[in-house]
Structure formats: structure tokens, C-alpha cells
A and B are shown apart, each in its own frame.
Chain A
Amino acid sequence: MSFLEYAPAPESRAILSLRDRYGLFIDGEFVDGRGTPFQTISPASEERIAEIASANAEDVADAVAAARRAYERVWSKMSGRDRGKYLFRIARLVQERARELAVAESLDNGKPIKESRDVDVPLVAAWFFYYAGWADKLDHAGLGADPRALGVAGQVIPWNFPLLMLAWKIAPALAAGNTVVLKPAETTPLTALLFAEILQQAELPAGVVNIVTGAGETGAALVAADVDKVAFTGSTGVGRAIAKQVAGTQKKVTLELGGKAANIVFDDAPIDQAIEGIVNGIFFNQGHVCCAGSRLLVQENIHDEVVDRLKQRLSTLRLGDPLDKNTDIGAINSAAQLARIRELSDVGVAEGAERWSAPCELPAEGFWFAPTIFTGVETSHRIAREEVFGPVLSVLSFRTPQEAIAKANNTPYGLSAGIWSDKGSRILAVADQLRAGVIWANTFNRFDPASPFGGYKESGYGREGGRHGLGAYLAPATSRSARAARAVEASAAPAAKASPAAKADAEAKPAPAKRSRRSSKSAEKGAAK
């Protein structure tokens, strides 16, 4: 027998107790949706997992109204310390139910269990723990004393890291004192709905977080609804549409969009670790990563050696059942995404690049794509410019650091970049000139809740993570809230002549004494659980 054909080691699905149908999570309860329900399937086998409700515009309006009520009556009046308690509780529940969440994520998304188990879910807990700590320290968020929440945040997240993107959105929003209506991606709603159960378990006040499932129209309805903040992670096309839709309104926006990251390998790089980094950069999560290192820029004098070693390494990757603990490459998330990857790969061949795919057997059922690299790619090729969002690497070469920087920056995107070199001074000098939000040195695709993340140019605006990610859900104490401004415009009452600051104080912020009294009540309630 071959030792390397490890015996199957599937993670048990017995830990999951899924319902057959899931409703919308509005005002603390699961309710039926008024849109046409849809099925969520496992991309690895195309088997049906559950029926998911679809929210129409009325459902979205109900969810936003619930969030508004929760904001005005409970959440905005609760002390930061008490909000933090809820967030800590959520983080601990995520840890307690980590295995269940990891299995659900791999089932619904197609990513390997070793990634959902070792990366996604631990980071979800880390994000809640991190922002839980911030909830009572908002004075230090960089906006001056007593910053205020924005109100209701409408959040739309993608399918590549379903639960992690939920955590990136919800944790800072709640810590800052906002309430939330979140729409998970159509193909990966499962873990968001399990998360809703966790919120019930944590006894988070009803309406503070609402989860509406559905397709693009649901998301559009949420962006159009009466929310104060829109946060979106996804494609640049949709991001552009959202930016147009909210232009001219008072809604604040953060967009985290596509990328075409350059991973630059200099000839003095620690070669074995660079190969690992290249693999991790583009084949992690089947390349469904907005900050994936999809353009490999290799110094020409080591190009052939790097490509050789890369091919050898890719031949050891194990593609297959996402729930098997030894799987390195899981399933492509959807038929539509697989079609897009195939189309762009065919374009690559047509443009004259040389295609090489790792020799591996693809399962008959489900959506699969073998790890693929294109060599001989030129900067003018579409596969060097467009985001493939799949396990496809384009290899380009460069001769000097200047050329590497110029090529790396020659993209409409600017989300991330990687530098591989043993020379610290070169890493710093090159990093200084790269126009990308995140730059990894001698590593790739590492995330930490304390580190801000976001892009330049068409990769979006605003930052998530760290203190900066908190700032995206806060406004300085003196600024007027959008609602307050609208209320003033509508009434044009004599009070409008008072100073804006005093008015904002009166309308947007309850008196300190009153706030602390209410919060101590809710603290007792919280402590009893």
C-alpha cells in the first residue's frame, strides 16, 4: 500500500443537528420569509442541506425596523461594559461550538475542514474577543471622548469566509454600539443561521442582530433600507453599484472588494518557505480569497527553479472531500464560480500562457478545479489583470526591484501584496512603495483582529479590523447623526436655532445619569445568565 494515500479520516457530521428549513432571524426569532425559499447545497456533492427563507423588501424593512427599535430602546443605552459582556459571551459560545461550526462551514462552503477548524472558526472567536475588549474603551478609538454609534448597520457579506466575514462585520458594529441587519451570501447562509442560534443562547437582546437570507435583491433592499451604515464585502462590480446607490444619502459606507495581489519573490528569498507561501497565498481556500496572491512575480534568475519546485509541491496537495481532515483543496463554492474560473483559464490558454494543472483526480459529483499555474503570463494578459477568485496562479517575472514594484502596482486593485526576501532593508523599501492595504513579508494570508485590513483603488475603501475597523462604526461626539439631521430638517422647529452641538447632545445622546441607571439594570440581567 501507499502510505501517502492516507486512509479516509472524515470529520463526523453527527455533531450537526440541522433543521430542515431555516427562516429569517428578525427581532430575536426565526420567522418565515415572504420571498421564494431556496435550497442551500454542499458544493462537494451537490446534496441538499436545508431550505432557506428568502427575504423580500418588506422582510428587510421589518428587520431594519427591529434593529432600529433595539438600537433606540436597548443597545444605545447600554454601557460599553455590558455590550462587551455580550460579545465575550458570544466569543465563548463560538469556541464551545467550534467543531459544529467548522463542520457546517465546510459542508456549506466546500472549504477543507482543516481550514475551517484551524483558521476560520478560531479567528471568528478571536474577532469577538478582540472587539469585546474595545466595547468599554471607545474613548481611545481615535475619535475623541465619547464617540457615538452610527445607528443601524446594513451588512452584506460574501461566500468565501461566511462565518469569518460575519464576525468581521458584526463584532466591531456591536462593540461600537450599533445594531445590525446582516445578509449572508446566497450559497453559504448556514453558519450565519447557526450563529443566530448562538445569539439566542447568549440572550442577546432581540433585534440587536438580525439576519436576512436571500440573493442579490435582498442585499439591494438592505442597502436601500433605512440604515445609517452600509458595509459590504464582495465583488468590485456590486461594490460600485452600492456606492452609486448610497451616493447623496447620509449613509456611511465601507467596501472591501476584489484584489489581484502581487506576491514578489526575490532571488535571495528563503526558497522553501517562499514556495509554501506561494501555495498558501493562492491555493488557500481554493483561491476564493480577495487578498489571494494570484500574481506571482519571480525574479527572472530563479524563475525556472521556483516553477519547478512549485509544481513538485502542488503535486503533493490532496484534493477531495472537504470534511476529510487530510484534504488540502476543497470544492469550488458554486457552479457559477466554477464556470467563471474555467472561462478565465481558457482565456489564459488562448492568450498564449502555458497552463499546468496538478495531477489529481476530480470527484464526479460537485464543483472541482485542480490547482493550476500559468507560466509565461505577460502583464497585458487578462489572467494577469482580472480576479479569477479560484485556484489559478499567474506567474510573471521581473529583473529589478523597481520593475517588481512597477508591475505589482500596475493593477486597478490594491488590497494586498507579499514580499519574499532574506534582506530586511529591501523588504521595508519595497513595502513602502507598494500601493496595497496589506503587505505580508515572508508570509501570506495571515490575519489578526488587531490588524487593520482594507484596500486601495478598486479594492474598496474603509478598514476592517483593529482600532481602524472600530472607527468605521463610530462618529465623533460633536457630529450630528443622520437621523437627527433629518429630523431637524423636517421639523424646522425653533429649536433648530440652538447650537448644533447642544442639539446633538439632546437628541442623540441620553443623559449620562439615565444611561448608567439603565445599564446597571441590564448588567444585572446579563450577570444572571
Chain B
Amino acid sequence: MTGTTLVTARERALAVLGGDPDDATLRRYLHGIPGVDAVGLEQRAAALGTRSVKTSSKAWALDRIISLIDLTTLEGADTPGKVRSLVAKAQNPDPAEPGTPRVAAVCVYGDMVPYAVEALGAAHGDPDDGGISVAAVATAFPSGRSSLDIKLADTAEAVAAGADEIDMVIDRGAFLAGRYGLVFDQIAAVKEACRRPDGTSASLKVILETGELVTYDNVRRASWLSILAGGDFIKTSTGKVQPAATLPVTLLMLEVVRDWHRLTGHKVGVKPAGGIRTSKDAIKYLVTVAETVGEEWLVPHLFRFGASSLLNDVLLQRQKLASGHYSGADYVTID
């Protein structure tokens, strides 16, 4: 999949902001957005979580969850062998059930991209067309504490190695210090670094690390900022900070995406990542997407789950739905 072009993103931001994206202009804009009532937001998320998804709806949901997963390994101990194992699982999640859908992407550190690309071979491609993408975390993931030059080099290297998607982290320190212009410029620069020689561009997911932003007002502002700066996706977390994805935070980000679409007609994706481990939880996210932005968002270029252990729980549920009884952990494969 490809990202939007930088020129249109910047032009759109200037039109919305009515001025250059410096600290003062961004502050005026971001602080002019209505606040978030935490109690009300959490109540709404809890209410969405009570939807009862059964039988045929559940079967559809389980398959859709699989096709929206970014199957992830982000460990210091990652090796080419581990990545090959992950890719094999991504292509064939349930060996006993050949009809099982593939996941959307594998998500790895930048230096692992060549191994992922190699292992995928012909399966490498756009998940909207049935392929599997390679996503790479970049920009001094997970802390983002590095110079811009290093972040850009990190990004360009991953793109050059064949990454289709870049998961960058924002500079949370700069955001919390009110240096919105700096955060904007960094996202825009990384976006530029996603460009390939042929003029196409890797898709950019912007990780807010909501666990470090803490307040819902911050999450809302960071979401707007990331979208304005040209992010194709906004993503909750690195998975390295607790709390990672929560339903209220994801709902809030979906509301921003919905409002952005109302404002500009442009669709941005959302990726909750970290902490979603069960089918039951994942179905709550599908419900929240469908009832907030609409069902058309439940496609790989507009919604993803960043997860590793979720896949096996979905496979177990899928087997249960087909056979009528629960199997067990040894009836799904480890990756």
C-alpha cells in the first residue's frame, strides 16, 4: 500500500490551519478543539463493549480481525530465524484450516526488513489485494530520543530494504513541552523520507504512545497534529509502555479520524497496538470502528491491530465456531 503524497498533505494542513504550522498557529488550532470528558468517553466505550456479536456476525468478525492484524515481533532478541517463523505464520495462520485468511502485515524492526521481504517472496504485497505487507518500526523506536538525521536515516533504510509501511514514534517530550511545530516538522520530514525513488511512498503510521501522553485531551491534540502533518495512520502505542491500547483511547482517535473526514473528505487509518489479546476484546474494537466511523473503515488500509498473541486466540475461537467445541493451545501454532 502507498501513502498519500506529501504535497497534498502539506497543502491540506495549511488550508485547515490557515497559516504556517509553527508552535503558535498549531497551539491556537489544537487548543481550540473541544475538550474530552473522560467519564463520558469511558462510558461510551464501555457501552460499545456490551454489544453482543453472535453466530454469523461473530464468524465474519473473527475472519476480519485476522485480516487486519499486523503480526508483530519487536524484541532485542529477534533473529532472521524468528522473522521467518513469523512470516510463515502470517501466510498460513492455521495449518489445519486452509481457508483461514492471511494477516495484513508483519511488523518488525528496520534491520529485519530484508529477511521479512525474502521470506514473504511472492506473498509480499498490498493486503487490500490479498498480499502481506512489511511494516517496519523506525525513528529510534520506541523512545524516539534521537536526532532528526538519525530518525530519517532509520526510515530511509527501512524503505530502501523494502518496507511498505513505516511505524514512526512522535517526540513525546517535544509534544508535552508544547513544541507542536517541531513534532509537526519531524512527522513531515519522516513522511518525506518514506518516498521511494520511483515517486511512490511507504505508508506512514504515527505512534502517539498514548500511555505517555496520559490525558485524553493530549491524545486528541496529538491525533490532530499527526494527521495534519501527513500521517496515513494514527497508532496508539509502541507496546513498550503501559497502558498501551485501550478502548476509550481508540474510540477517541476514531472520533478524530471521523471529524477529519467530515472536514476534508480524506480518510485516515487507526491502529490500536499492544494489550489486545483476546477475540472478545478485538470484537469490541470492530464494533467501535463500525459504530463510530462506519463499516467501510474495517479494511486493511484504514484499520489494523498491532498484536502478536491475539492471532492464536482468534484461531481458537474460529476452530470452536466451526467444530462446536474448544480445542487448546497446542492446536494452534506458536510463531
Tell me, yes or no, whether B54 is within 8 Å of chain A by CB.
yes
Tell me, yes or no, whether A272 is within 8 Å of chain B by CB.
yes
Chain B's closest residue to A5 (CB) is B57
Q: Mark B252-274, 1 if CB is under 8 A from A, else 0.
A: 00010000000000000000000
Tell me, yes or no, whether B326 is within 8 Å of chain A by CB.
no
On whether A422 and B40 interact (CB within 8 A), knowing A3-B286, A7-B56, the answer reads no
On whether A442 and B57 interact (CB within 8 A), knowing A3-B298, A9-B52, the answer reads no
Interface positions, chain A 429-474, Cβ under 8 Å from B, are 442-443
On whether A276 and B44 interact (CB within 8 A), knowing A4-B291, A4-B295, the answer reads yes
Chain A nearest Cβ from B286, distance in angstroms = 7
Q: Mark A207-248, 1 if CB is under 8 A from B, else 0.
A: 000000000000000000000000000000000000000000
Asked whether, in the complex, the Cβ of B50 is within 8 Å of the Cβ of A114, the reply is yes
Asked whether, in the complex, the Cβ of A326 is within 8 Å of the Cβ of B52, the reply is yes
Tell me, yes or no, whether B53 is within 8 Å of chain A by CB.
yes
Interface positions, chain B 132-181, Cβ under 8 Å from A, are none
Chain A nearest Cβ from B200, distance in angstroms = 31
Asked whether, in the complex, the Cβ of B40 is within 8 Å of the Cβ of A442, the reply is yes
Q: Mark A273-309, 1 if CB is under 8 A from B, else 0.
A: 1101100000000000000000000000000000000
Chain A CB within 10 A, most for which of B35, B55, B60, B255: B35
Chain B residues within 8 Å of A351, by CB: none
Asked whether, in the complex, the Cβ of A272 is within 8 Å of the Cβ of B41, the reply is yes
Tell me, yes or no, whether B241 is within 8 Å of chain A by CB.
no
Tell me, yes or no, whether A477 is within 8 Å of chain B by CB.
no
Tell me, yes or no, whether B315 is within 8 Å of chain A by CB.
no
- Interchain CA distance A274-B64 in the complex, whole Å: 32
Chain B residues within 8 Å of A1, by CB: 56, 60
Interface positions, chain A 410-424, Cβ under 8 Å from B, are 422
Chain B's closest residue to A9 (CB) is B52
Chain A's closest residue to B51 (CB) is A326
Chain A residues within 8 Å of B41, by CB: 272-273
Interface positions, chain A 22-46, Cβ under 8 Å from B, are none
> How many chain B residues touch the partner (CB < 8 A)?
27
- Interchain CA distance A6-B286 in the complex, whole Å: 12
Asked whether, in the complex, the Cβ of B54 is within 8 Å of the Cβ of A269, the reply is no
- Interchain CA distance A271-B44 in the complex, whole Å: 13
Chain A nearest Cβ from B253, distance in angstroms = 12
Tell me, yes or no, whether B75 is within 8 Å of chain A by CB.
no
Chain A nearest Cβ from B6, distance in angstroms = 30
Tell me, yes or no, whether B14 is within 8 Å of chain A by CB.
no
Chain B residues within 8 Å of A352, by CB: none
Tell me, yes or no, whether B37 is within 8 Å of chain A by CB.
yes
- Interchain CA distance A2-B51 in the complex, whole Å: 15
Chain B residues within 8 Å of A3, by CB: 57, 60-61, 64, 286, 290, 295, 298
Chain B CB within 10 A, most for which of A7, A268, A325: A7
Chain A's closest residue to B39 (CB) is A443
Chain A nearest Cβ from B59, distance in angstroms = 9
Tell me, yes or no, whether A118 is within 8 Å of chain B by CB.
yes
Asked whether, in the complex, the Cβ of A6 is within 8 Å of the Cβ of B50, the reply is no
Tell me, yes or no, whether B36 is within 8 Å of chain A by CB.
yes
- Interchain CA distance A3-B64 in the complex, whole Å: 10
Asked whether, in the complex, the Cβ of B52 is within 8 Å of the Cβ of A6, the reply is yes
- Interchain CA distance A276-B255 in the complex, whole Å: 13
Interface positions, chain B 169-197, Cβ under 8 Å from A, are none
Asked whether, in the complex, the Cβ of A6 is within 8 Å of the Cβ of B51, the reply is yes
Tell me, yes or no, whether A270 is within 8 Å of chain B by CB.
yes
Asked whether, in the complex, the Cβ of A271 is within 8 Å of the Cβ of B34, the reply is yes
Tell me, yes or no, whether B43 is within 8 Å of chain A by CB.
yes
Tell me, yes or no, whether A316 is within 8 Å of chain B by CB.
yes
Tell me, yes or no, whether B58 is within 8 Å of chain A by CB.
yes
- Interchain CA distance A86-B61 in the complex, whole Å: 47
Chain B residues within 8 Å of A325, by CB: 50-52
- Interchain CA distance A274-B43 in the complex, whole Å: 12
Chain A residues within 8 Å of B35, by CB: 268, 270, 422
Chain A nearest Cβ from B219, distance in angstroms = 13
CB-contact partner of B57 in A7, A118, A272, A276, under 8 A: A7
CB-contact partner of A273 in B44, B286, B298, under 8 A: B44
On whether A270 and B40 interact (CB within 8 A), knowing A3-B57, A4-B291, A422-B34, the answer reads yes
Chain B nearest Cβ from A261, distance in angstroms = 18
Chain A residues within 8 Å of B39, by CB: 273, 442-443
Chain A nearest Cβ from B64, distance in angstroms = 7
Interface positions, chain A 96-119, Cβ under 8 Å from B, are 114, 118
Chain A residues within 8 Å of B64, by CB: 3
Asked whether, in the complex, the Cβ of B34 is within 8 Å of the Cβ of A269, the reply is yes
Chain A's closest residue to B44 (CB) is A276
Chain B CB within 10 A, most for which of A273, A277, A422: A273
- Interchain CA distance A274-B40 in the complex, whole Å: 8
- Interchain CA distance A118-B47 in the complex, whole Å: 10
Asked whether, in the complex, the Cβ of A443 is within 8 Å of the Cβ of B295, the reply is no
Asked whether, in the complex, the Cβ of B50 is within 8 Å of the Cβ of A7, the reply is no
- Interchain CA distance A9-B291 in the complex, whole Å: 17
- Interchain CA distance A231-B51 in the complex, whole Å: 38
Chain A CB within 10 A, most for which of B40, B41, B291, B298: B40
Chain A's closest residue to B256 (CB) is A272
Chain B's closest residue to A423 (CB) is B35
- Interchain CA distance A6-B55 in the complex, whole Å: 9
Chain A residues within 8 Å of B43, by CB: 276, 443
Q: Mark B52-86, 1 if CB is under 8 A from A, else 0.
A: 11111110110010000000000000000000000
Chain A CB within 10 A, most for which of B43, B57, B290: B57
- Interchain CA distance A4-B60 in the complex, whole Å: 11
Interface positions, chain B 2-59, Cβ under 8 Å from A, are 34-37, 39-41, 43-44, 50-58
Chain B residues within 8 Å of A422, by CB: 34-35, 37
Chain B CB within 10 A, most for which of A114, A270, A325, A443: A270
Asked whether, in the complex, the Cβ of B36 is within 8 Å of the Cβ of A270, the reply is yes
Asked whether, in the complex, the Cβ of A273 is within 8 Å of the Cβ of B40, the reply is yes
Interface positions, chain A 112-171, Cβ under 8 Å from B, are 114, 118
Chain B residues within 8 Å of A9, by CB: 52-54
Chain A nearest Cβ from B43, distance in angstroms = 7
Chain A residues within 8 Å of B40, by CB: 270, 272-274, 276-277, 442-443
Interface positions, chain B 90-138, Cβ under 8 Å from A, are none
- Interchain CA distance A9-B57 in the complex, whole Å: 10
- Interchain CA distance A114-B52 in the complex, whole Å: 10
Q: Mark A392-410, 1 if CB is under 8 A from B, else 0.
A: 0000000000000000000
- Interchain CA distance A129-B36 in the complex, whole Å: 34
Going nearest first, the 4 A-B pairs with the smallest beta carbon separation are A273-B40, A9-B52, A325-B52, A270-B37
Contacts A/B (CB < 8 Å), 25 sampled: A2-B295, A3-B57, A3-B61, A3-B290, A4-B290, A4-B291, A5-B57, A6-B54, A7-B54, A7-B56, A118-B50, A270-B36, A272-B36, A272-B40, A272-B44, A273-B36, A273-B37, A273-B40, A274-B40, A316-B291, A325-B51, A422-B35, A442-B37, A442-B39, A443-B39
Mark A residues whose CB is within 8 Å of B.
1-9, 114, 118, 268-274, 276-277, 316, 325-326, 422, 442-443
Extra 13 A-B pairs, beta carbons < 8 Å, given A272-B36, A273-B41: A6-B52, A7-B55, A9-B54, A268-B35, A270-B34, A270-B40, A274-B40, A325-B50, A325-B52, A422-B37, A442-B37, A442-B39, A443-B40
